[in-house]
Amino acid sequence: MRRILLAVHEGREEATKVAAGFAAELHAQGIEVCVLDTEVDALRVAGVEDAHVVASGTGAAAGCELTVVFGGDGTILRAAELCRGTEVPVLGVNLGHVGFLAEADVEDMQDVVRVVVDRTYTVEERLTVDVSVTVAGEVVATNWALNEASVEKAARERMLEIVVEIDDRPVSRWGCDGIVCATPTGSTAYNFSAGGPIVWPEVSALLMVPISAHALFARPLVVSPDSTLAIEVVGEQSTGVLWCDGRRAADLPLGSRVEVVKGRETVRLARLHPASFADRLVRKFDLPVAGWRGGAERRWEGRS
């Protein structure tokens, strides 16, 4: 029996309705639909019947061939947690705002059904980061992220004092609102809002971007995926908070050390069809490209 897990933004009525229609199409093709115990009531109201209920949490997608998400990027990040440790890919249907991680929109649902039933989707491996927090030489927390790990100030009225280190060597000390350690996948998320560069997802690299740093040198850094990024919380009253993908938090008392390295596991994103990342940027950010004279027939002859 083929199994597909649904993950839904249950607070959006449109999401549950679209998911219910998708579930009915799969059921008609003899594919079993799995739903989370935290979402089953909302989906039943929307019309989902005969679904297999699984416990929500890390690894919930075990035994499924695919997790299909109905929501925005936040719901897709939650689905990545459900697939953690299972190698099950995630296919996002955007019902949010930008939806940069999503592969399809509601208008594409017939294509989504066809590709899922026929198993003609492709899968991309996306780099993640593993994060550890050390206090007084003892590891007190570990976590991971697909988009970014951010160290942020705990108190609005006080700057966060940090020392940044790359590969066991100090780089600079800043007073700031925080710092973002991002993956190429996360370069269009918090990293982008903080002024960091957009990095094509197939590039293997780690990014570090200060947030509102009070310093002469506080530029974004792009380093090797084999590097270790470290942030130490210093100063007399400086405390912070570690956020992973904006979903999982850990307190950072004075003297905390946060280390960020390339993740041991990847996140697998399902794609309906090959597409240029440049085209995705233009479409998602509604970038102006009128007047472009490109194409195979345009070679810019005669330009000096």
Could you give the residue numbers annotated as active site? Answer: 73
* Closest to 284 measured CA to CA, from 79, 72, 69: 72
Write out the DSSP string of 1-52. Answer: --EEEEEE-TT-HHHHHHHHHHHHHHHHTTPEEEEETTTHHHHHHHT--SPE
> Whose structure tokens read 């059921």?
27
Question: What's the CA gap between 124 and 269, in Å, rounded?
Answer: 5
